[in-house]
Amino acid sequence: MSEFTLCDGLWEREQYVPLLERTIKIYIMQEGDKSPTGRQLEIVDSINSFPVDFLSAAASHAWDYYQRLDAILKYAKNGGVVFKRDEVSQHFFFKSALIPQIKNCEANFIFLAAHCDWEEEHGMGFLVENGQIIFCGDETSLPFSAAWEEIISSPKAVRDTLLSENLSQNTG
């Protein structure tokens, strides 16, 4: 496995992820002037220990996101990609994972970016907290925002509210 290289404040490397059955780009946000923290590296490794139903949960979230966009964009009427619920896994794939700054937050977060046939311009993003998908929608810039510092510094109840408020803008 290759080492991470620093590029524009993000540590990066390509890595095969057995759970996702593909090689993806792994990004780790730099915390201060340091290389990836041990905790951030543990979070990268945790991707392969996500629950066994992770991919089916991702497909379910992806279907819900597709439905939200279809209600607005009317894919069938406007010549967009149309498929059935049981076909959704054939229409998206994961392309990268971002491990954000975690600092002293007790939760482990991973932002997963996916290509999807129905939203090629913006793609699709998932936010995973402790192995569970808590958001699926447009890819988000949240981990690069000032709000992220407040989120990871807050107690869980406050953090959940802040996440909901910040991510509701990216739901499609």
Share of the chain above pLDDT 70, in %: 97
User: How much is the pLDDT for 27?
Assistant: 97
Alpha carbons 47 and 54: distance in angstroms, whole number: 10
Residue ranges of domains in the chain: 5-170
Mean pLDDT of the chain: 91
- Separation CA 74–CA 59 (nearest Å): 20
Residue 118, pLDDT score: 92
State how far the Cα of 42 lies from the Cα of 26, in Å rounded to an integer. Answer: 13
pLDDT value at 169 more than 70: no
Could you say which DSSP state residue 80 is in?
A: -
pLDDT in tens, 105-120: 999 999 999 999 998 8
Distance CA 61, CA 33 (A): 36
pLDDT at 2: 64
Q: Which pLDDT band holds residue 171 (cuts at 50, 70, 90)? A: low
pLDDT of residue 168: 78
pLDDT of residue 90: 96
pTM of the model: 0.92
37-43 — which CB contacts under 8 Å span 24+ positions? Answer: 37/102, 39/102, 39/108, 40/99, 40/102, 42/108, 43/99, 43/102, 43/108, 43/109, 43/110
Confidence of residue 34 (pLDDT cuts 50, 70, 90): confident
> CA-to-CA distance for 96 and 133, rounded, in angstroms?
15
pLDDT at residue number 167: 86
